[in-house]
Chains A and B, each alone.
Chain A
Amino acid sequence: MVEPVRQQIIISGIGGQGVLFVTRLLAEAAIGKGLPVFTSETHGMAQRGGTVLSHLKVGGFSSPLIRPLQANGLLVLKAENVLQHGAFLKSGGWAVVNGRSDAMPQTNISADTIDADTLAQKIANPKSINLIVLGFALAKAEQTPEHQDSLFCSFEDIKAVLESRFSKNKELLDASLKALHAGFSAEGAE
């Protein structure tokens, strides 16, 4: 019998980076695969520049929130947030962080890093950091299939979600897929 999927993922960044958009793509990918899904985000006075955190739970959960030391994975769009939100990660969980590896804050988390800010400039789409980091996380998950807690969805799943979301806006779809692919095929930051 295959173990049913149960994954808890924290997505962290700052206002304006598109944390909620990434969360939504992942949640819709889960629905596409027929999996139950829960998301929660910090609301309220969060504003541009403030921390944005969202909880994504895929599988049979009843609580909308992730407790400390329970997350299977961490998707971080702003490196310094690792200090605060690293506390959610399980030991042995994966972390994908936007930033140069020499600019990582000191923690005991071993993260895969990608310099998405630079990559986004390169593909002339400064607002695509979120998709680049997501693409990179998808690549990391596919490279480590033995890792039982890797991502529940694949590059193709996210691509399908983007295609249905932007079916009426070819330009936006192409730009999004380009960013996702840029992250997916990136080497990671030194």
Chain B
Amino acid sequence: MNERRLLLGNEAIARGLVENGCAIATSYPGTPASEILAAVAYFQKENKLSMHTQWAVNEKIAFEIAYAGCQTGLRTAVSMKQVGLNVASDPLMSAAYMGIKGGFIVISADDPGPHSSQTEQDSRLMAMMARIPVLDPDSPHQTKEMIGMAYAISEEYNTPVMLRPTTRVCHARQDIELDYIPQNGREVKFEKDPTRWAATPRFRFHLHKALEEKLMAVSQHAPTEPLRHNPEATSSKAIISSGVAAAHSREIIKELNLWQQIPFYQVLQPFPLHTQFIEHVINAYEEILVIEETMGVIEMQLADRHRVKGKMTNAVPRVGELYPETIQDIVSQFVGIQSEKLEIPFATGRRPTLCAGCPHRASFFAIKKAVKKGIYTSDIGCYTLGLNLGAVDTVLCMGAAISQACGFYHAYKRQKKRPDIVATIGDSTFFHAGVPALVDAVVQNVRFVLVILDNRTTAMTGSQPTPASGLGPCGEPLEALDIKTLVRGCGVKFCEEGDPYQIKEFTALVKKAVKYSREHGPAVIISRYPCIIDAARKEEKAEYIPVEITEDCDGCGYCIKHFECPALLYHEDEDEKFVSIDRILCTGCGVCLNVCPKGSIVEKK
């Protein structure tokens, strides 16, 4: 018998890729997809596979690299989170027209909830827009199976195929049977075909026509037909579901003793929905309930409106994750049985905050000291939490800290009073989408300060390397880019580095940059200090400065409000207010020594 291993959904996807001979896998990190590439790299190392794995600078680049790989006949894949697909949508739309040579899978992980994303968008709608087939797995086990199905569809119909897992699939663990990994033996051969690979609009018309024909054929593809799980059930009301919602529904229908009664279908390929299936369900049932995340993609393809219930009829909530208890309610209502409304009380915890000792906190504190009233644009990363410190006013999408700073500058530049503008962006995000925006700021001579928070890693998604790290996903050495050289290369004349832990000097540096920017144009500061979580993981030791709070602390709460280090604890009882240090959380960074206006936080002698 084959080995069974407990695998995360994302690890099962990775396993499916290597078992199906994927030769190039690329990605840009983003929750809930980040573990996919790391796991491919793990299997690559474990089994000494000859393949290329890469963290690309952003999702668009990742997509294009993997796509070119498939143009040479290799099987390849690119993975990302759903908002990453927005960045990669340009090559996606075009690649759909051109098709593939080796199998090509686009893995886009959705985040209903959302648990850690800007939006709850449904990647299946992107697949519809691009006109490519999409598969919707219900479990880690099924993700692995679907990788094989996806490569088969891709190569049979000459099209990229999307796999759309959701957070609950990516982050569940299941016992998975490991199959054999073939050593890749495909020939690498790029065959020139300019009317396809470099098609002009006239040829694009023909490619579009061919694409629609492919989709018609995929909608008859037998291996991905919807599963009819309980042929014995014959009610005139049927339930259709897909993804993890189908996994919840199946269990609930059984537990409500409706399995013998209510026909249950699981859709594997929400787009294109199988034409025969559409005909069958519309003819066979009086009422159809569709349960899916996050938008009504299956629902909108079932044309007969008055029989179909779902998101569009408000039978299923339109926003948020579909928890199993919600599905239990929906199913009970549809069938007309009583069900107790159940909910888990909401956790009242502390709001999320930057870690104790996080260098970002020091940078934000210095920025607020140097620029009391400014506009603070920021970006996607741990440092978004700078909003707790009042140092983040805007967060739009990757890289927008810089372009929004430009927009604010242009909006205010003819006004008498112009606010100072300070943008903050992480190192990985700067590489991802900040560089073109900085070029624009230089050309337009935008007067603002950009603080690049360089903690030498992609911290929020679990410490993946950045282009400045000089490391690949297997830990192999790569070329390391120098941020300062890059900034200077963009044409920025003021670019200085500072250590945010040296908070006095760093505050002075921000002041200097602001002064420069008011008169001359963009000023960039690179705030250098490694992420403490990442440093701890690498067992790098930093200096430990023991701090204590003196008797003089009157509990004014300034440090709590303006610095919010989780290691600073506020106490309040009838006759006393004071602050103490949590010795377990405190990393001894010593930054708070400069925070208390009364000097009550001191170094312990």
Q: Which residues of A contact B (CB under 8 A)?
A: 24, 27-28, 30-31, 36-41, 43-45, 47-51, 61-69, 83-85, 87-88
Q: How far, in angstroms, from A34 to B160 measured CA to CA in the complex?
A: 37
**Which one of B172, B174, B252, B344 contacts A87 once the chains associate, using CB atoms below 8 Å?**
B344
In contact, A63 and B324 (Cβ under 8 angstroms): yes
Does B101 lie at the interface of the complex (its beta carbon under 8 Å from any beta carbon of A)? no
Q: Which residues of A contact B167 (CB under 8 A)?
A: 43
**Which one of A36, A43, A65, A85 contacts B323 once the chains associate, using CB atoms below 8 Å?**
A65
- Closest Cβ of chain B to A91, distance in Å, is 12
Q: Which residues of B contact A36 (CB under 8 A)?
A: 174-175
In contact, B350 and A37 (Cβ under 8 angstroms): no
Number of B residues with CB within 8 Å of any CB on chain A: 40
- Closest Cβ of chain B to A87, distance in Å, is 5
In contact, B115 and A44 (Cβ under 8 angstroms): yes
Q: Which residues of A contact B353 (CB under 8 A)?
A: 47
Q: Which residues of B contact A43 (CB under 8 A)?
A: 31-32, 115-116, 167, 171
- Closest Cβ of chain B to A145, distance in Å, is 26
Q: Which residues of B contact A45 (CB under 8 A)?
A: 116, 352
Q: Which residues of A contact B139 (CB under 8 A)?
A: 38, 62, 64
Q: How far, in angstroms, from A37 to B175 measured CA to CA in the complex?
A: 6
- The segment from B243-251, B391-399, B430-438 that touches chain A is B243-251
In contact, B349 and A50 (Cβ under 8 angstroms): yes
Q: How far, in angstroms, from A50 to B247 measured CA to CA in the complex?
A: 29
Q: Which residues of B contact A49 (CB under 8 A)?
A: 350, 566, 585
Q: How far, in angstroms, from A44 to B5 measured CA to CA in the complex?
A: 24
Q: How far, in angstroms, from A86 to B585 measured CA to CA in the complex?
A: 28
In contact, A61 and B251 (Cβ under 8 angstroms): yes
Does B411 lie at the interface of the complex (its beta carbon under 8 Å from any beta carbon of A)? no
Q: Which residues of A contact B345 (CB under 8 A)?
A: 83-84, 87
Q: How far, in angstroms, from A37 to B140 measured CA to CA in the complex?
A: 11
Does B575 lie at the interface of the complex (its beta carbon under 8 Å from any beta carbon of A)? no
Q: Which residues of A contact B251 (CB under 8 A)?
A: 61-63
In contact, B173 and A39 (Cβ under 8 angstroms): yes
Given A69-B342, A87-B344, 9 more pairs with CB closer than 8 A: A43-B31, A44-B31, A50-B350, A62-B251, A63-B244, A64-B139, A64-B168, A67-B324, A85-B344
Nearest-neighbor residue (CB-CB) of B251 within chain A:
A63
29 contacts between A and B (CB under 8 A): A24-B6, A27-B6, A31-B6, A37-B175, A38-B173, A39-B6, A39-B173, A43-B31, A44-B31, A47-B352, A47-B353, A48-B566, A49-B585, A50-B350, A50-B352, A61-B251, A62-B138, A62-B248, A62-B250, A63-B247, A64-B172, A64-B247, A67-B324, A67-B328, A68-B342, A69-B340, A69-B342, A87-B345, A88-B344
Q: How far, in angstroms, from A41 to B171 measured CA to CA in the complex?
A: 7
In contact, A65 and B168 (Cβ under 8 angstroms): yes
- Residue among A62, A65, A66, A84 with the highest chain B CB neighbour number at 10 A: A62
In contact, B175 and A30 (Cβ under 8 angstroms): yes
Nearest-neighbor residue (CB-CB) of A41 within chain B:
B171
Q: Mark B328-367, 1 if CB is under 8 A from A, else 0.
A: 1000000000001011110101101101000000000000
- Residue among A36, A39, A68, A85 with the highest chain B CB neighbour number at 10 A: A68
Contacts known (A24-B6, A50-B349, A83-B345); A67 close to B325, Cβ less than 8 A = yes
Q: Which residues of A contact B172 (CB under 8 A)?
A: 38-40, 64
Q: How far, in angstroms, from A50 to B566 measured CA to CA in the complex?
A: 11
